């Protein structure tokens, strides 16, 4: 199978042929795309690397899913509807079996998200996948990291620490079971896009842990946050679970802030759509993230003191070491 047969066989089927927004997709030097009128376009790109973002012995299906999911999560955090994506793939060899699994992972999620593959690049090299996504928002309505205000509720759109628990299980040698799913198949919170647009002052997706990513919402602003540990949904006896919820990466849950006046209307929308949401704390004036609740004294004091490090550079919790065999 040469490079062009590979593209025709595995990647062409991922483009939506009947989509009027794609004037010209895979096959030419570039894609010709028609942006929806009255919209701003939002672009994001993320690379996933074997041995860094996913384990070296991870299934190709999970790799395809992850490469697209982490990018869709960025669009969701900006409140942008997915439109198109490109795929730059570096592969050690052209294995049809591997490519079948990989494109299944991509196609299941791309169908769910309504996003079309419009181009890419395929080279031989160490396994690395770069996806670039383009989405759209009504003009001026993108939600950014910087709009939080004192008094805002800090909310998260799902349980935290489940991906870190999955990774821990993987490292112990577990290869099956529901515990692994949040780690291997992170779910981008696309169902939140319309609600964020209507209600959120600021938003970010949690890829590097709540404390670090909440830190980005406060960065360069005279703002801090108070987090109520009892609202994270952790078992109060499970210190490890609490620490995963605070510092574990790869959850791809959204963290957003909403004014307390809009909170009741948002709650009604959440209930009518059957979504999960936890108000876990508040934005406060003055810097720093403080944890409140009976568990606060038990969490790693050095890591909380280390908050300033989180604002600059922290050792990443998500690095995946080769699993013991």
Q: Which residues bind ligand ADP (CB under 6 A)?
A: 7, 11, 26-29, 87, 89, 117, 119-122
Q: How far is the CB of 247 from Mg ion (least distance, A)?
A: 44
Of the pair 55, 120, the CB lying nearest ligand ADP is at 120
Of the pair 29, 235, the CB lying nearest Mg ion is at 29
8 A C-beta contact, residue 229 and residue 242 = yes
8 A C-beta contact, residue 160 and residue 213 = no
Q: Binding partner of residue 27 among ligand ADP, Mg ion, none, CB under 5 to 8 Å per kind?
A: ligand ADP
Distance CA 224, CA 206 (A): 17
Of the pair 84, 247, the CB lying nearest ligand ADP is at 84
By CB under 5 A, name the one of 2, 17, 18, 29 that touches Mg ion.
Answer: 29
Size of the site for Mg ion (CB under 5 A): 1
28 lines the binding site for Mg ion (CB under 5 A): no
Of the pair 30, 324, the CB lying nearest Mg ion is at 30
Residue 162: closest CA among 189, 193, 187: 187
Of the pair 28, 235, the CB lying nearest ligand ADP is at 28
Distance CA 145, CA 253 (A): 15
Q: How far is the CB of 29 from Mg ion (least distance, A)?
A: 4
Of the pair 126, 285, the CB lying nearest ligand ADP is at 126
Phi, psi of 82 (to 5 degrees): -65, 140
Q: How far is the CB of 117 from ligand ADP (least distance, A)?
A: 5
Q: Binding partner of residue 99 among Mg ion, ligand ADP, none, CB under 5 to 8 Å per kind?
A: none
Q: How far is the CB of 30 from ligand ADP (least distance, A)?
A: 7
Of the pair 28, 237, the CB lying nearest Mg ion is at 28
- The SS3 assignment for 182 reads helix
Q: How far is the CB of 139 from Mg ion (least distance, A)?
A: 33
Q: How far is the CB of 82 from ligand ADP (least distance, A)?
A: 16
Residue 314's contacts (CB-CB under 8 Å, 6 or more residues apart) are 208, 212, 306
C-alpha torsion sign, points 94, 318, 164, 245: negative
Residue 140: alpha-carbon gap to chain centroid: 23
Distance CA 107, CA 128 (A): 18
Residue 149: closest CA among 278, 256, 76: 256
Q: How far is the CB of 186 from ligand ADP (least distance, A)?
A: 21
Burial of 29 (0-12, 13-18, 19+ CB in 10 A): exposed
Q: What DSSP line would sit under 73-86, residue for residue?
A: HHHHHTTPEEEEEE
Q: Binding partner of residue 87 among Mg ion, ligand ADP, none, CB under 5 to 8 Å per kind?
A: ligand ADP
Q: Binding partner of residue 2 among ligand ADP, Mg ion, none, CB under 5 to 8 Å per kind?
A: none
Residue 304: closest CA among 252, 250, 257, 243: 243
Q: Binding partner of residue 57 among Mg ion, ligand ADP, none, CB under 5 to 8 Å per kind?
A: none
Q: Binding partner of residue 26 among Mg ion, ligand ADP, none, CB under 5 to 8 Å per kind?
A: ligand ADP
Of the pair 128, 168, the CB lying nearest ligand ADP is at 128
Please give the structure tokens belonging to residue 225: 């946050």
Q: How far is the CB of 250 from ligand ADP (least distance, A)?
A: 24
8 A C-beta contact, residue 55 and residue 180 = no
8 A C-beta contact, residue 143 and residue 79 = yes
Residues that bind Mg ion (CB under 5 A): 29
């Amino acid at each position: 199978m040469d490079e062009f047969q590979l593209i025709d066989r595995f990647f062409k089927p991922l483009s939506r042929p009947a989509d009027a927004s794609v004037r010209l997709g895979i096959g030419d030097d570039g894609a010709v795309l028609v942006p929806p009128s009255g919209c701003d376009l939002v672009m994001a790109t993320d690379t996933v690397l074997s041995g860094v973002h996913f384990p070296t012995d991870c299934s190709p299906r999970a790799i395809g899913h992850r490469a697209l999911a982490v990018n869709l999560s960025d669009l969701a955090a900006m409140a942008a509807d997915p439109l198109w994506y490109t795929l730059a793939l570096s592969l050690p060899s052209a294995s049809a079996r591997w490519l079948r699994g990989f494109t299944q992972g991509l196609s299941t999620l791309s169908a769910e998200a309504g996003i079309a593959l419009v181009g890419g690049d395929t080279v031989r090299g160490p396994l690395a996948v770069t996806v670039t996504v383009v989405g759209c928002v009504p003009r001026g309505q993108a939600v950014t990291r910087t709009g939080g205000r004192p008094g805002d509720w800090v909310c998260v759109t799902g349980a935290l620490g489940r991906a870190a628990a999955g990774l821990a299980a993987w490292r112990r040698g577990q290869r099956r079971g529901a515990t692994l799913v949040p780690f291997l198949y992170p779910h981008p919170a696309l169902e939140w896009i319309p609600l964020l647009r209507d209600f959120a002052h600021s938003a970010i997706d949690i890829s590097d842990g709540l404390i670090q990513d909440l830190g980005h919402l406060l960065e360069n602003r005279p703002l801090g946050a108070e987090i109520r540990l009892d609202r994270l949904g952790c078992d109060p006896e499970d210190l490890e679970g609490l620490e995963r919820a605070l510092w574990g990466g790869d959850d791809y849950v959204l963290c957003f802030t909403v004014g307390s006046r809009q909170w009741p209307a948002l709650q009604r929308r959440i209930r009518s759509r059957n979504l999960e949401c936890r108000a876990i704390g508040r934005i406060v004036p003055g810097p720093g993230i403080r944890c409140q609740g009976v568990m606060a004294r038990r969490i790693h004091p050095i890591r909380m003191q280390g908050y300033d490090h989180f604002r600059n550079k922290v050792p990443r919790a998500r690095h995946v070491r080769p699993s013991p065999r």
